[in-house]
Amino acid sequence: MAGRPYILAETNWKTVKATDYEVAVLPWGATEAHNYHLPYSTDVVQCDEIAAEAARIAWEREAKVVVLPTVPFGVNTGQLDIKLDLNLNPSTQLAILGDLVEALEHQGIPKLLIMNGHGGNDFKQMVRELLPRYEVFICCMDWFNTVPDGLFVEDGDHADEMETSMMQYLRPDWVLPLSEAGDGYEHKFNISALKEGWVWTQRDWTRATADTGIGNPHLATPDKGKRCLQQAGAQIAGFLVDFAAADVDDLYE
């Protein structure tokens, strides 16, 4: 059976040659520990599945989008003490991204969406640097900012209720029973400005958390994960349809 034509890893040169893709989607994750119960590939799996769902909906609405393979390594400079948390420095990410944009431009793909799935990655300044150098129009987003309000009970940002629910739905065989998960308690900064967030520095993960998680996973359910995937995918798909149809030289009212 032929693969999905909007997933580059599954399709073939015959299909690609005949398709005028308007938007490439580049999911970018990370490889890192996610509490005791989730796999190291959590960010990659979520990027794969959300990008695919968004592209499916957009493709069915006749938007010519293609999802590139997810980059599996992210910025983990605050987690270097955690075994096999793998790091790419931002400068390395910029070099990789620049090479990919150059290839897309040479091949006539006019638009790129970077779909980020890891909190340590930040592509805004890279987009600022690359836009003046290339004709490809570049946008970036954090998919987790599309999670609908009210779906999850407790806040967190790593192996929490949301990520655990997603993985219970997407890869249940890879998730340990919640009885084996840590509580995800975060040791916050003791300087008020850092704690409140209006001054920022990266967290030292081995001091901020005992189990590598930040956020309580114990209220997670597969149904919440399914609804999160569906709603996030639909929201991103709406943008992809608009982005594919847009004239990037006429984006302002």
Position 3 in a domain:
no
Contact 120, 75 (CB under 8 A): yes
Q: At CA 202, angle to CA 198 and CA 203, rounded to 5?
A: 105
173 is in which domain, residue-wise?
8-245
> Given the DSSP bridges, would you call strands 65-67 and 23-28 parallel, antiparallel or unpaired?
parallel
Q: For residue 1, tell me if it sits in a domain.
A: no
Question: How much is the pLDDT for 148?
Answer: 85
Has residue 28 been placed in a domain?
yes
Other beta carbons within 10 Å of 27: 26
* Chain mean position to CA 17: 28
Contact 73, 93 (CB under 8 A): no
Q: Is residue 253 part of a domain?
A: no
Residue 38 DSSP SS3? strand
Q: Where are the beta strands (DSSP E) in the chain?
A: 23-28, 65-67, 111-116, 137-142, 156-158, 214-215
87: domain CATH number is 3.40.50.10310
pTM (two decimals)? 0.96
Q: Are 27 and 51 in contact (CB under 8 A)?
A: yes
pLDDT in tens, 221-241: 999 999 999 999 999 999 999
Of 206, 210, 211, 196, the closest CA to residue 164 belongs to 211
- pLDDT per residue, tens digit, the chain (253 aa), is 679 999 999 999 999 999 999 999 999 999 999 999 999 999 999 999 999 999 999 999 999 999 999 999 999 999 999 999 999 999 999 999 999 999 999 999 999 999 999 999 999 999 999 999 999 999 999 999 999 889 999 989 999 999 999 999 999 999 999 999 999 999 999 999 999 999 999 999 999 999 999 999 999 999 999 999 999 999 999 999 999 999 999 999 9
Count up the domains in the chain and report the number. Answer: 1
Closest listed residue to residue 114, CA positions, set 98, 144, 93, 138: 138
Would 83 be classed as within a structural domain?
A: yes
Crossing angle of the two packed helices 42-60 and 161-170, in degrees rounded to 10: 70
Residue 251, domain member (yes or no): no
